[in-house]
Structure 1
């Protein structure tokens, strides 16, 4: 079944070496194959790994004798001496523990998890094979301390230690050292554009702050995914999964997931690989029609209804004001407006299912060329990745991510002591649009909002004049205003929908246009081979952003926005008194937009016990998160206001023309139009809630409380203390950690208004008479101008990006216990506790968005070889009730139980493994966030061929 694909050969080699070829197998003490075991020539970095059946082939450029060692996660290392060419080695590994797993992420150097200075989790080939989830990425849900929030079928967001969001800027995801975040979004889209399952070698997860080694945005955790090197993993492998998704709202729908990997070692100096993955299914329907503003209300019971997954009903107006306008135009009799109450009424919106087809799709490919020209431990590699997909993302709005594409290209030079890499990431928004914006603009395309509310108010007056009750009048008015409504499924609706979703102006359309890029380079050198004093590392990174939305999202109408960040770090690690391992790290980062920032980390680990089976650790570390691209430079104009970034040069990049009222022109001498810079939101504004009160003549305090003027945005900061224990107690493996974090300068939004005229600095209502609000006698000129601007709608609404003055503390802990029961059954369980605190009385308007349950419990039970070639695994998860807070909406997430299960059977002669599995086996739809589709069940059958 071996297949050699035609690769483009970039390098040639012109001389041969003496070479020894060895082969063999690795099995456990039950004579079962150990796939993915490391086979290494002792004292060198030359090695390979075992294939699906535990077999390996290794070439070494020296003559015998020499030693070869075999090791694998959960087994003790075994060494055999090679005495002749073509010798066959048969390793039988005794079962060890997961504490012997080797990780790199914690200290940027290989070390056992047992000795890691901070908490780290690992998900390797064994876990990928045995996961009960439909894919390896979903299998991460079983890890302790990990939250996996399901945004859609193809977009899952990983988070640790709270403060989660789907657009999770506080969590990094690295794939072979490359940041997997989309430049325009500043967060990874789960595994939508990530890795193909057959190419995953291992995954490491580092929860908590890690800025000391990884810099800006290594704030709340990092996920490291490492792929298989074709030198070590040559051959052809692939998988196909077919099944259904089942949800109460969407019914049963087909699901397909397919992937293939081809790798070939052309010689000892050149190898290459290519991967391809395809997934298609139907997304989870979002059908929460509860009222955001009045729990339990419906459209029939609340004229100002605003449904969670209804879009367009956020357009609202006071029908009293609409009636007054009609009266002024002579369209209703004078005095008729007295029949109309001062009541806000919302338009009738469209359900989310009318604005998307819920197609979930992912297509991705990657390729790599690997060259080892001089020695086995020196490698030059080029890697390219490209992906496109369709999914749903929830941020401040619900986004239909459609045909979104991203590509990455990396060049890397490395050996066991250093690496130097550079890569570029580029994205394109494709046909992406915002459903919350499409809804209102679709309604306006059919009937302008002013016309609709005018018809509503006129019908209300007419109904009341003939004796209708208030409820009857509202019903008649809505029916009259809705006459001729565009109905989903009709050609007229589809034509209007296509127009709106292809229009990049958010005043009339909803489409996102973007082609932003990130250029990144980083390097690291480890001096441990040069000195025995200590393990010393130095490194650094440089990154440049180039934002280019063509003026549709960012304030980049005049051209792309570039800005850069640079960081340098060092780490010293030393073991003293044989059992005490000390680690000290410090990093300095500087963005051209902010002052420099130092991130120190100090940790200590002490090994004790007669067999050295126990390790106690403690650490202090700091972290920070730079404002993301949208926090800095968004300049998005919508019908409800403008989202304006908090960079201190935003005023130079965002300027928009506005029209003044006839009153301002005729009586105040103001120009018909003016240009207002976005900086007005930060230098000449007031809180939107206060401005609303002033516009309706309800001021109650002096002017000092009316000034908004939020500060320009700056980085968030965190200080973290952590303690932990890892150890083996007979057959039980125990891993415990606890932490306490202090956060400050949380990036937050503040809604303000900036009037077209009047200086906010001089605003003062001293002497204002609330009994006679029309009188402005005794007020200074700027105050009079501002009041006039508010009453005549001569102002702009902004949502700013700034920092909260509220300090937040979070704390928690996690414990995992793994053992063997009933002979050789694997049993693992873990518990996570998470909580936070802040002064809510002093900060009633602060939204912390902790977004994680206080208590979570997970457990797995299975057997890799219940009988010959047959295994199974069952995973159970329970989450406590918690509050989800976001700019989209807030709501309680009910507690849930989830059971996933799988059975697998190997057929070695076909080099195949078959798996049948189900997720959410109980069939109870559940949610991990407010406003998303409920997560249903998946039932699948997979066939994996591994011809490595």
Structure 2
């Protein structure tokens, strides 16, 4: 009996641990191997991916019969029945088209892009592999409806549907569900601290309002970047790119970009991965020396010259007034001699980033627990209200997430540090002042001018002699004294004397979503929500937080219902409705609804229509910035800004003598919103009509409120013969649109009593007839007893925009990929009637993009060419505004597969025509990049 029991036990163990092995090769219909294809045993979490040669092997503790599912982006899914052990299954995948690709972002649930209820763009593995751009992030520029504004070599800002500067706070960027924005800046720094290319699984982009599902910051578009899960993608992958950047101003400079990804599945319950990326190059030199004060002016032709990329020459004064009114001194403004931007930065561009993840599936199914950490540091140029040298800026994120196919719950923290970052517009004036005070410099200038004039010199000769005398002893750029002063000023975080800033701000965020799937008969139902806390901590250098960190929170909840109705065998109607409620502790709550309908005809044509709404809480800078410079103060529009920001301002001797005022007055930030005039008053007073009361000069910007947008969109996706077509059109209306206004707040005088009735600028005696407050305000303007502010506020005007886009793809000449798209965008706003208001639309009316290539031109050889053309447009931003000429760019690459090394060699060039261009006023011209890369896929 014991023997029988032993035999039975042994047999039971054999049955319990019986294993089935399946192996084979995955290829496309041309016989080309498909590395990275997903092979999963149906009903389990067991699976693998094909290696570089398309080969795969799966071993599972189950006996046949069973099924495996094979998927690969751009190809139709296949399910294969397995009937015996050690079965070899070679699979030829059938290529689909763009309409078959699966997206998640549009509805927070997997669906064919063909059936998406709204416009969505996808950039998958094939697109990433074949991009003609220098990296996958730059390749997004070839998508329809997308602008990429190039700030510098390593900082590119995505813009959809306009209304963006480089600080694109109306656009959200998510990496594995985490907002990639830097807390101090409130917008993402491109891919500077983002994903390593070898770990990118897919990229999806939703243009337009997306608040109904994604909240306050998904106002004008959202980018989703998803990484590879180590349970599905194992092995070592790496790349190295080596080449040069070429620019007329900077010359030819070495460029290196490398990355490595390592992932391993230790068991069906545990997997891990780590990624590392490094980039080093030379940024595009900014050499726009056009005179802001006199078009076509130069330092030689204009004594009050103020160059765009010259810093320090914005320090200017009226030399007659500075001389005390000496008649021998002309009544003109003179500016100091500034330093070129290239004198104040080394233009080194660098990015170092790493991320890692631990993935647990405790029950061996789709229930997963993730810990993901990310850290990055880098150096680049950023252009906001000023030009910033981002040097050693660092960002880190840590996330815990629990999920399965039906739900997720995640929480993460984002933290940044400013490193050795400094502001070049502030550095220039303060470096000059550290060498010789502005008072002493202008004193030397005036004294020398007077002496030269008395000695018989002409006006031009006297000015030339005065500048030489005032500049005597000035440290030459690169000299020991210059470098000492540079270090002194950039390490000083007081913007009245220094140019550096500190920051250690944080964002704490949690969100969750549950998809009830088919639980309810009437519709697929989803519910979710999010909670976020900001903790601003710039130690008073950026924000109005000198007295301690600023914290505030916001939350949101949403639901979505989706139902598909089969009208008949040829018609299918998909209805989607979403609504979200958000509440910030600083503002009233807001509902964001979205409804859409998609009609599918014969599986080849889909027509869609949607009404979407969105809102945007003012970003951290719009709320609490308190950045004081010699040129003025950037001040946030939160209602409590007056309690958080104040400054002591010297009062002129005139006001002390005539109005009995103290030598200094403490003014708080609320003055910009409660007691201010538009800054344009300085130039307009000279032409004032005595019959006008001057009320048009009263500024008093409103404190900020959330922006609102509503957008109507229609679209079509379909296949007509061999052509895949995706077209859309939209009309958007923005209310309470946020932008900047420039105002001046006098140190004395009540603006509410300001009345210029009877004031004649040609009759000084007319001032005596004005009320006391108006007299004081005019005296404050005359004696520089005011503070200039750039405020954040909402316009009372409605801002509209509309546009359309169409993309067409097909295959020609026996397998060549051909694509073309066109985007049209228009702003509908009374610009002439609102001269002090900037919408920052910043997008061309017309854009055209073409692509042509083939993955297998010859055996193991492929290529791709991308061309894009942009119409001219007007760029406006706080730093400066100007015309951007039309440009066209050609990128190209050719790649060689080396199967024996599981590698691909690529030779590529961006801006192959070497026709330098720029996408924003004040930035460097964009040159060319030439590179060779080696990518190894040891899957």
* Residue of structure 2 in register with 1:590 after alignment: 583
> Match of 1:388?
377
2:228 matched to 1:239? no
| TM-score, length basis structure 1 | 0.94
8 Å Cα contact 1:659-1:672 kept in structure 2: yes
Which structure 2 residues correspond to residues 715-754 of structure 1 after superposition, within 5 A? 715-754=706-745
Number of aligned residue pairs: 920
What is the CA–CA distance in structure 2 between the aligned matches of 1:691 and 1:456, rounded to whole Å?
25
| Residue 4 (structure 1) aligns with | none
Q: Is the contact made by 1:73 and 1:98 (CA closer than 8 Å) also made in structure 2?
A: no
CA shift at 1:29, angstroms?
0.9
Say yes or no: does 1:625 pair with 2:580. no
In structure 1, C-alpha distance between the alignment counterparts of 2:585 and 2:61, rounded to whole Å: 49
1:430-475 deviations in Å (ceiling 9; x for gaps): 0000011101111111111122222222222222223332222222
Q: How many angstroms apart in 2 are the aligned matches of 1:932 and 1:926?
A: 10
User: Does structure 1 conserve the Cα–Cα contact (< 8 Å) formed by 2:690 and 2:760?
Assistant: no
Spell out the pairing of 1:127-526 with structure 2 (5 A cutoff): 127-324=127-324, 337-526=326-515
Contact conserved, 1:695 with 1:791, CA < 8 A, in 2?
A: no
Deviation by residue 1:707-735 (Cα, 9 ceiling, x = unmatched): 22110011122111111111111221111
**Bigger mean CA offset, 463-472 vs 127-136:** 463-472
Quote the Cα distance in structure 2 between the aligned partners of 1:84 and 1:505.
Answer: 75
How far did 1:697 drift? 11
Which residue number corresponds to residue 536 of structure 2? 547
CA distance in 2, matches of 1:88, 1:468: 97
SS in 2 for 1:500: helix
Cα distance in structure 2, aligned partners of 1:489 and 1:671: 43
Corresponding residue of 1:851: 842
Q: Hey, what does 1:832 align to over in structure 2?
A: 823
1:422 & 1:234 partners in 2: Cα distance?
Answer: 26
Deviations 1:482-518 (A, max 9, x none): 1111210211111111111111011011001100000
Alpha-carbon displacement from aligned partner over 1:203-231 (angstroms, at most 9, x marks no partner): 11111110000010111111100000000
Q: For the structure 1 residues 300 and 108, does the alpha-carbon distance in structure 2 shift closer, same or farther, using more than 3 Å as the test?
A: same
Q: Is the 8 A contact 2:741 2:836 kept in 1?
A: no
Q: CA deviation at 1:559?
A: 0.5
Distance 1:703 1:196 in 2: 57
For residues 100 and 40 of structure 2, what CA distance do their matches in structure 1 show? 16
Of stretches 501-510 and 288-297 in structure 1, the one that deviates more from structure 2 is 288-297
| Distance in 2 of aligned mates of 1:134 and 1:739 | 32
Q: Is 1:72–1:101's contact at 8 Å kept on the other side of the alignment?
A: no
Give 1:776 deviation, angstroms.
Answer: 4.7
8 Å CA contact retained: 1:599, 1:622: yes
- SS of 1:651's equivalent in the other structure is helix
Partner of 2:882: 891
Aligned equivalents of 2:268, 2:857: Cα separation in 1: 40
Return the match for 1:906 from 884, 897, 900.
897
CA distance in 1, matches of 2:816, 2:576: 37
Aligned partners of 1:133 and 1:769: how far apart in 2?
Answer: 61
How far has the Cα of 1:292 moved from its partner?
Answer: 1.9
Note if 1:572 corresponds to 2:564: no
User: Is 2:629 the partner of 1:653?
Assistant: no
Could you say which residue in structure 2 is the equivalent of 1:3? none
Q: Alpha-carbon deviation of 1:835?
A: 1.3
* Deviation (angstroms), 1:19: 5.7
Three-state SS of the structure 2 residue aligned to 1:761 is: helix
**1:735–1:565 CA distance, 2 compared to 1 (3 A):** same
Please identify, of 383-392 and 700-709, the stretch whose mean Cα deviation from structure 2 is larger.
700-709
Q: Deviations over 1:558-603 (max 9, x none)?
A: 1000011101100000001250000000111111111111111110
Give per-residue Cα distances to partners, 1:543-562, cap 9 Å, x unaligned: 00000000111110110000
1:24-63 matches, within 5 Å, as: 24-42=24-42, 47-58=47-58, 60=60, 62-63=62-63
Residue 357 of structure 1 deviates from its aligned partner by: 0.3
Task: Confirm or deny: 8 A CA contact 1:36 1:51 kept in the other structure.
Answer: yes
Distance 1:778 1:877, change over 3 A: closer
Q: Which residue of 2 aligns with 1:644?
A: 635
* Contact kept in structure 2, 1:182 and 1:425, CA below 8 Å: yes
Deviation digits for residues 838-871 of structure 1 (CA, Å, limit 9, x no counterpart): 1233223332221111111111111111121111
The 3 A distance-change label for structure 1 pair 294 and 62 is farther
Contact 2:310 2:341 survives alignment (8 Å): yes
Distance 1:696 1:312, change over 3 A: farther
Once residues 312 and 477 of structure 2 are traced to their aligned partners in structure 1, the CA distance between those partners, rounded to angstroms, is 14
Whether the aligned pair in 1 keeps the contact of 2:740 and 2:837 (CA below 8 Å) is: no
Aligned 1:863-874 pairs, distance under 5 A: 863-874=854-865
> 3-state SS of the aligned residue for 1:619?
strand
SS at match of 2:190: coil
Give yes or no for contact 1:871–1:904 (8 Å, CA) kept in 2. Answer: yes
Q: CA deviation at 1:402?
A: 0.2
Partner of 1:332: none
Question: Secondary structure of the equivalent of 1:842?
Answer: coil
Q: Is 2:245–2:930's contact at 8 Å kept on the other side of the alignment?
A: yes
Q: Is the 8 A contact 1:51 1:233 kept in 2?
A: no
> Aligned-pair distance for 1:637?
1.1
2:446 is paired with a residue whose SS is helix
Pairing partner for 2:607 from 612, 616, 630: 616
| Alignment gaps of 5+ in structure 1 | 1-15, 326-336
SS at match of 1:577: strand
- Conservation of the 8 A alpha-carbon contact between 2:239 and 2:934: yes
Relative to the length of structure 2, the TM-score reads 0.95
Secondary structure at the aligned position of 1:927 is classed as coil
Rounded to whole Å, the distance in 2 between the matches of 1:594 and 1:20 is: 60
Residue in structure 2 matched with residue 531 of structure 1 by the alignment: 520
Contact 2:376/2:396 (8 A) holds in 1: yes
- Bigger shift: residues 33-42 or 151-160: 33-42
Q: Distance in 1 between matches of 2:57 and 2:226?
A: 22
Partners of 2:578 and 2:41 lie apart in 1 by 32
Distance 1:695 1:653 in 2: 36
Partner residue in 1 for 2:812: 821
Deviation at 1:779, TM superposition (A): 3.4
838-847 vs 728-737, which deviates more? 838-847
Counterpart Cα distance in 1 of 2:833 and 2:738 = 18
How far apart, CA to CA, are the structure 1 residues paired with 2:167 and 2:155?
A: 11
Deviation at 1:751, TM superposition (A): 1.8
For 1:148, what is the secondary structure of its paired residue? strand
CA contact (8 A) 2:767 2:775 kept: yes
Kindly report the root-mean-square deviation, in angstroms, between the aligned alpha carbons of the 2 structures.
Answer: 1.9
Q: Is the 8 A contact 1:693 1:699 kept in 2?
A: no
Mean Cα deviation higher: 594-603 or 291-300:
291-300
Question: Given the superposition, is the C-alpha separation of residues 319 and 378 from structure 1 closer, same or farther in structure 2, using an over 3 Å criterion?
Answer: same
